[in-house]
Amino acid sequence: RGSQADFILLAEGKDEVQKEDLVSSSSSSSKQQLTPLLLAVFAFTGFVGASNIYYNQPLLVEMGLEFKKSSGEIGLVNTCAQIGYAAGLLLISPLGDIFIKKRIILILCAVCSVFLLVFGFSTSYQMLLAISFMIGLTTVIAQVAIPLAADMSDPSKSGRTVGIIMAGLTLGILLSRTVSGAVGLKFGWRAVFWGASLLMGFTFVLLAFLIPSTPPKNKTNFSSLIQSLWQLIKTQPVLRQSAFIGAMNFGVFSIFWTTITFRLSEAPYNYNSAQIGLFALLGAAGVVGSPVGGFGTDWKGPYFMVGVGLVLYMISELILLFFDSSLAALVIGTFLLDFACQCAQVSNQTRVYALAPGSRSRINSVYMVSYFAGGATGSALGSAAYGKYGWKGSCIVAIIMICLSFTAYLSSKIPHPFFQDKKREQEEARASTSHHGGRRTTRKRGRTTLQLFNGEIPEEETADISSLLEQQE
């Protein structure tokens, strides 16, 4: 079985950090319970943190006019924010496994608040780019908070916990454009970032008083932690495939939301920043793709739903390419694009999170680094294409990225032991169904299992596992 193969890899000592994850996950320890208030605070933190790198999108036209830069040049402000976020995911987010998470979160809140304030006082184009990168680097707060909330949550409710926080993060990405557009129109683009700085300061105070301080589960150094990321990439083909598809998909998403600002400011629309921000509400409607993707994943499997998301991506881009002068077509295309993004994202994350339950923080880092690196690439390519070839040029770049995503998706249907095991158990449960006295009863195998990487290992095999670990040590 795939899980046993992964265990052999672990026992051979090729990934010491994963071994520590196994020991920490199998040991019982007391933990503070996640209350509804704390869950709401974590969701709010995700909302505020994600907003910081998207406030700039409806304001790019005003920034470009003030600093006398083209659409392609000023679009790099958003690109630098996303590159910074990807760097934070790679270098800062994994630190939650070896340092106290609360301390990391508070430091990030304080530093990010300062950079947002400084961004509002930018005096040059180069300063905009540099501070935008630093805002992205320090706003990975949600990616540290999510594992903390999952640690505090009841295991049977961890999925719901992560889902609620991710919903807050997604709404932050989408609604930040509406808020910044309205505030920017009335008070100027600089006021948006001054207000964002105050909001981060409030979040700092809220978290300082409410979230608990929990000790780290692993005792390792930063170098070993980063090396374990590469080990996961080498040994998990599903992770590699999903990371590439996620990168291409978010690249398409970023191309659209970076260049739509320029398109709506031109004829026949001629929208101001507030109207452009309101247009982003259509993206919030696309959040319904998350529960639909989750339901479809349970029904048909994550691989199937990723394909559905890619098809919807292509349909939306074709609508946006050929009917961009029609407001109704733009509305339909925008909704489909955001729906496809959420649907594919949930399904992709379901695939990778099932790979190694003891290494989810690092799997999340690998996946999200790829995801936002793709977003930064899309934002840069989309801005450059729009500056040279206009709206249709940026749409063609997006379609090329979708085709690359399709190529990776269709290259091989990689078997996934977790879902193979789940399907096998369902078939065995159906086969054991019997009828007694006209009453239908189903016998379920009562067994305690230890989740280990790609699947489950029965309790009777756990003793052998522990023995092998002791021999290796």
Question: How sure is the predictor about 115, in pLDDT bands with cuts at 50, 70 and 90?
Answer: very high
Closest CA to 290 of 398, 158, 170, 402: 170
Q: Residue 452: pLDDT above 60?
A: no
Q: Are 113 and 200 in contact (CB under 8 A)?
A: yes
Whole-number Cα distances in Å, 27 to 98, 132, 216, 355: 17, 42, 14, 20
Q: Residue 30: pLDDT above 90?
A: no
368-391 tens-digit pLDDT: 889 888 988 998 899 899 989 999
Specify the pLDDT at position 372: 81
Q: Are 356 and 6 in contact (CB under 8 A)?
A: yes
Q: Residue 78: pLDDT above 70?
A: yes
Find all residues with CB under 8 Å of 464, minimum gap 6, and list them: none
Q: Are 273 and 61 in contact (CB under 8 A)?
A: yes
Whole-number average pLDDT of the chain = 78
Please state the rounded mean pLDDT for residues 192-202.
Answer: 96
Q: Residue 232: pLDDT above 50?
A: yes
Please state the rounded mean pLDDT for residues 155-171.
Answer: 69
Question: How sure is the predictor about 443, in pLDDT bands with cuts at 50, 70 and 90?
Answer: very low
Specify the pLDDT at position 126: 95
Any alpha helices (H) in 265-359, and if so which ranges?
273-279, 281-285, 289-300, 302-322, 327-353
Q: Are 113 and 233 in contact (CB under 8 A)?
A: no
Q: Residue 37: pLDDT above 60?
A: yes
85-109 tens-digit pLDDT: 888 988 888 887 778 889 999 999 9
How far apart CA 252 and CA 337 sit, in angstroms, is 9
296-330 tens-digit pLDDT: 666 777 888 889 999 999 999 999 999 999 999 99
Closest CA to 71 of 331, 399, 393, 330: 393
Question: How sure is the predictor about 423, in pLDDT bands with cuts at 50, 70 and 90?
Answer: low
Please state the rounded mean pLDDT for residues 275-298.
Answer: 69
Find all residues with CB under 8 Å of 73, minimum gap 6, and list them: 64, 125, 383, 387
| Model-wide pTM > 0.75 | no
Please state the rounded mean pLDDT for residues 211-224.
Answer: 77
Q: Residue 16: pLDDT above 80?
A: no
Question: How sure is the predictor about 338, in pLDDT bands with cuts at 50, 70 and 90?
Answer: confident
Any alpha helices (H) in 354-416, and if so which ranges?
360-411
